[in-house]
Chain A
Amino acid sequence: MSSSSIVSGRLRLSFHRHEAKLTCLLFVLGIALAVTAPRFFSSANLALLARSMGVLLIVSVGMLNVILAGGIDVSAGAILAVVSVVLVRLGNHGLPASAMLPLGLLAGAGLGAVNATLIAELRIPPIVATLGTAGLFRGLLLEWTQGEWESSIPPWLNSIGSPRWGGLDASVLAAALLILAAAGVLHRTQIGRALFRFGDSPLAAARTGISARQPIYFAYISLGLLTAIGAVFYAAQLGAVQGNAANGYELTVIAAVVLGGADILGGRGTLLGTFLGVLLLCSLQQGLVLLHVATFWQSIATGTIVLFGVILSSAQRLHQTPLLQRSPSA
């Protein structure tokens, strides 16, 4: 560990710089919003912002695990839809919360395990494997629901989503707890550290005795589990779900994690950066809503800010390693 401390120290410094840039960007956005839409900083709106961040934050922490391990998962939106529809549909049939919640989490972890198996055992490239499972999960889900809406949710789910504690709901608390837990796992456990090293170089990790499969299983199953937790709050907040729910959600999640400075090639990324990425995306969207900007301008602004963040973090990496830059892969 001591030999790598210099390198990791330098890396940590550079990533703090990326997070410093993100914070600056947030300040600029905050000032712009304070001038144009002072209502943004009212306590009611801030509570609303926190609620809108909860689910995205929970799923993003899982996606960070996967990206740290050098993978990617485009089936997260489909998993979110499957779990939320399962929860609401079976819940509406009268199954109690004590049975449904474990079942939902188990379903999420199971779907994550399917991804992990395809990637670790059959050696299908992550983007292809999850592309396939996204279509598979979504197709089976739509066949099950026949595209119909579940327009009411069971009362226990409703109470999970209802705001308390000054406008905040359980998703905010859960997101905070899960980030703390993730910080503990990523930095204080063997499997967490293995994730970074495996993502940086699977070959080097194998040479130091890290399993070639374990980090993959850990990353995708944890994403599945966290997505399932997110799905509970997603369904609870919306109050109605259908098979096409969360279509394209995975791309928002990946955008948030990447905006937070995580290296898409694996091995580098921080929870703080991910949090800032989610905060930036959500406050931008919330601000534009307050300014009564049409939806398509919101997506133009979101795309621009994602590109801007990507350029910020890449420019700095390019500066550090001009020649030995790894060729980007999918």
Chain B
Amino acid sequence: MTSTSPAPASLEKFENPSATFARRLVDLRLSGHLQPGVVTLLVLSFCVYAGYRSGDFWSALNWQLLTQSLAEAGLVSLGMMFVIASGGIDLSAGAIVGVAAVTAGIAAHHNLPVAAIEAAALAGGILCGAFNGLLIGVLRISSILVTLGSMILFSGIALALSNGSSFAGFPDGLLWWNDAALLGIPLEFLLFLATAVVAAVLLGYTLWGHYVIAVGSNRVAARYSGYPVALTLFSVYALQGLLCGMTGILLVARLASARADMGQGLMLMAIAAVVLGGGPIEGGSASVLGTLVGVAAFYIVQDGLLLLDVPPFVQHALTSILLLVSVATGNLLRGNREDRR
């Protein structure tokens, strides 16, 4: 839309196509790292301010608690990153977490061993994700529509399975996820970091990661290139289901109870984290580091505001402003190119 000149005049654009292409590539590269950079700067200056105003901010306990809840949202965000990179969106992520938590609760209710409880939760998550993947990948229905419907469906299933009540009485082996720490770092957070490394390898160094990006950039072109589009999309949503299942286990371990509405809010949080990290919502690009920055920014700012005695509802509003400001700044710095849409 930038070239409003009539067709003949725009021919000059094609004189040296490689130069334009290279410049565009550089632009793209730059824009990919720009937004996480802006966010990191904002968050770091916020950290300095929060540390100055509140003595508790830099305490070890604060960061231990912070990284635990960060890990839960982080796992969903990593899954959401793949989903968004593949050109889709998953509105049902929170509901899947609920299903996974409730299946873990039912398994614990039947006094199954810890491994079986965990397997049940993961299986519940993967099944839900695979259901989405089937409709989106194989039946080729728009992801936002499928996951809108399945979100309502899954939260209903979770409520029906739990009969609307909450589960308690989990074995110590499961709660271990919450209690264990290595060198003072909570195990949950280490698990999240390990998953992030795996995700980075999957994204950057495997054929599958290449497929995901290709499908997200241009699905039709990917199909013409002979890429397994349906299988790729299916696996992306199944993976998201698996990560939601892991989140469910961690949530159950931390809160020592399981409820159907446990994942509420995680879905929006995950989308916001991916976008905050600079992942374009249209798909075709992803950065694990950006997603880490995005999700960390949310939790650090929220935690800092809590310690600064900002009322809880204002915290909510301020984190929303953080999202809007950083995306808008990223857009403006990127030079307001209008050809995105």
A positions within 8 Å CB-CB of B: 72, 118, 122-125, 127-129, 131-136, 138-143, 146-147, 202-203, 206, 212, 243, 251, 254-255, 258, 264-265, 294-304, 306-307, 310-311, 314-315, 318, 323-325, 327-330
Contact = CB atoms under 8 A, between A and B. Distances in A.
B135 A311 contact: yes
Interface in B137-188: 139-146, 148-157, 159-160, 164
B148 A300 contact: no
Interface stretch (B8-16, B48-56, B326-334): B326-334
A125 B282 contact: yes
B317 A302 contact: no
Contacts of B157: 296, 300
B327 A311 contact: no
A211 to B, nearest CB: 12
B313 A142 contact: yes
B310 to A, nearest CB: 10
Contact of A132 (B145, B150, B320): B320
Contacts of A264: 142, 144-145
A118 B146 CA distance: 27
A139 B314 contact: yes
A129 B324 CA distance: 6
B33 interface: no
Contacts of B275: 125, 128
Interface string B261-278: 000000010011001000
Contacts of B318: 139
Interface residues of B, number: 59
B88 A297 contact: no
Given A310-B145, A327-B87, A124 B331 contact: yes
B312 to A, nearest CB: 8
B309 interface: no
Given A143-B311, A328-B143, 17 more contacts: A122-B327, A131-B268, A131-B272, A136-B317, A139-B314, A139-B318, A141-B313, A142-B316, A147-B313, A251-B152, A264-B142, A301-B156, A314-B141, A318-B139, A327-B218, A327-B219, A330-B84
Nearest to A305: B149
Contacts of B341: 123, 202
A323 B272 CA distance: 32
7 contacts: A129-B327, A131-B272, A140-B317, A147-B313, A294-B164, A311-B139, A324-B220
A124 B327 CA distance: 7
B323 interface: yes
A231 to B, nearest CB: 20
B156 A302 contact: yes
B236 to A, nearest CB: 13
A254 B168 CA distance: 35
Closest 4 CB pairs of A and B: A303-B153, A139-B317, A135-B320, A296-B159
Contacts of B319: 135
B340 interface: yes
A122 B332 contact: yes
Nearest to B160: A296
Nearest to A301: B156
Contacts of A300: 153, 156-157, 160
A330 B324 contact: no
Given A131-B272, A303-B150, A314-B139, A330 B156 contact: no
B43 interface: no
B281 interface: yes
A254 B89 contact: no
B1 interface: yes
Given A310-B141, A327-B220, A330-B282, A140 B148 contact: no
Nearest to A128: B275
